[in-house]
Amino acid sequence: MVRTKSPMRAVYRLPNELWSAIFGYLHVGELVPASKVCVCWRAVAFDHPNFWRNVRIDSAAKGKLYWTTRQLAAGGGRPFNLIVHMPNRMHGMLAQFVLQTIHASLSRVSGLRISLDSAHAPLLWAALAAPAPHLAKFELTLLDSASIPSETLPELASNIFARCAPRLRSVSLKEVALPMQPVPAFANADRVSIDALMEEWSSFVYHDPTDEWQDFPYHLFLIFPRVEQLMVGGGGFEFARCPPPHAVQGMQRLKSLHLSFDHGWDNIKFLEHFPTAHIPTVLVSGVDDISMRQMLSQLPSAPFHLSVYRTTPTEFHICVQSARDGSVRRIFVEDLKHYTRPEELKPSSVFRPETSGHLPFSQHVTALSVSTSLWGTVTRWMPTYPELTTLTLLVDAYRPLTSPLPKCQLACPKLGAVAVRSMSAHVANVDARAVADVIASTGQRRVKVQLAGVRLFGPPKMLAAVRGSSMN
């Protein structure tokens, strides 16, 4: 009788470093089955960062909580990221488990994201009252409690993290009121997001029971003395007094400002109340005509580079910057439905001729960049660009250029160059017909074609026609 060797013997002889590299392609749900193959794989799977580095608590299921405890134990003393998303009110042992897990993790957590019912706020402040020496990013959302209705949001505990989080740089607070006292744990944070997302105006954090809007929380610049990137959003504020010196100084330190209010007039009030012209990057959501003109007036002298690029499946950005010095940018967040749904059409006023200055804004634009996924959507709203010399197609993941683009007309009498650039790290295959159609839509017969990270394909005659347009 001939004894055959077990194929697993060869597996055991392979170094753990090799298996660790292979397991790097697996997520938690795949590592668990892999751990059951053999003792060797079990040791590698449970020690792999993909198993313990990102821990998420979002279910009350016993099986899910069991694997959460296994992940926490597998990490040992190594820093990890903890995400707690329990939007409904918790009771009994579940609430105790979640809050104790948060408290026990503070000594080694590097990223902490919490979304809880606001009814748990008092117990949460107690759970967060421990030093967080490794914490670099903190996100907190306290959802409106159906069981304990309130007109105000819970106030953040000023002694959070036992006043000790030396590495904390990024803080995001949603539906949380800022305390009037300093928060020592936030002293080094330079990226800050303050957002109140309550649906009802009567429940907004800065609305008091007397139906009077409270003043803008100028003390946020005392709570975050080193903030450089600030996002402010939600319902609305009143600016009943001039900003105090510390608030003006705080604004002068900003390198980036994002306004995301529910209504355009709050953007106007903010821009009129605070000095923002010096800020290199200002991004505004829900912008109206007045705030649009006000922001464009902050740019250096013309000419301008206009960029339109996709950011999410439902949103895109319009960026305007000086063609000479691109260090100052004004960016407008646009909702795709305002360009595609007939009942909600509201295209940006940046495409209207009366947007800026004594001349139509379109006459100040010399460079235009458009994502391929937005080509047919936004170009139909664009005016003639009489001074445009360079047009760039940004090949994004939402619309690969493997087929011709929607036909449109984009009048550019001075166009001299068309660039096609891939937005990913990989080479993008581009249908030559799409490039030819874009050139034809501008009314030009011969332009310089520049390719960056793309490879043309198509019929030989079409390739020759595009190359005949003077390709570099």
For 140-176, how does the pLDDT look when each residue is reduced to its tens digit (9 = 90+)? 999 876 655 566 778 999 999 999 999 999 999 998 9
DSSP E strand stretches across 275-406: 281-285, 304-310, 315-322, 329-335, 365-371, 390-395
β-bridge mates for residue 365, sequence order: 304
pLDDT of residue 375: 87
pTM: predicted TM-score of the whole model, two decimal places: 0.81
Task: Of 368, 367, 375, 374, give the one whose Cα is nearest residue 310.
Answer: 374
For residue 211, what pLDDT is reported? 40
**219 phi and psi, to 5 degrees?**
-70, -5
Residues near 393 by Cβ (< 8 Å), separated by ≥ 6? 369, 370, 372, 375, 401, 418, 419, 420, 421, 435, 438
Phi and psi at 307, nearest 5°, equal: -120, 135
Q: How confident is the model at residue 300 (pLDDT cuts 50, 70, 90)?
A: confident
Tokens of 195: 């957002």
Structure token digits, residue 337: 């439905």
Three-state SS at 430: strand
User: Helix (H, G, I), strand (E, B), or coil: what is residue 261?
Assistant: strand
**C-alpha radius of gyration, the chain, whole number:** 27
For the stretch 80-108, pLDDT in tens is 999 999 888 888 888 899 999 999 999 99
Q: Cα–Cα distance between 168 and 170 in angstroms, integer?
A: 6
Res 51 pLDDT > 50: yes
Domain coordinates in residue numbering, the chain: 287-472
Beta-bridge partner residues of 174:
141, 195
DSSP β-ladder status, 281-285 and 256-261: parallel
pLDDT of residue 13: 67
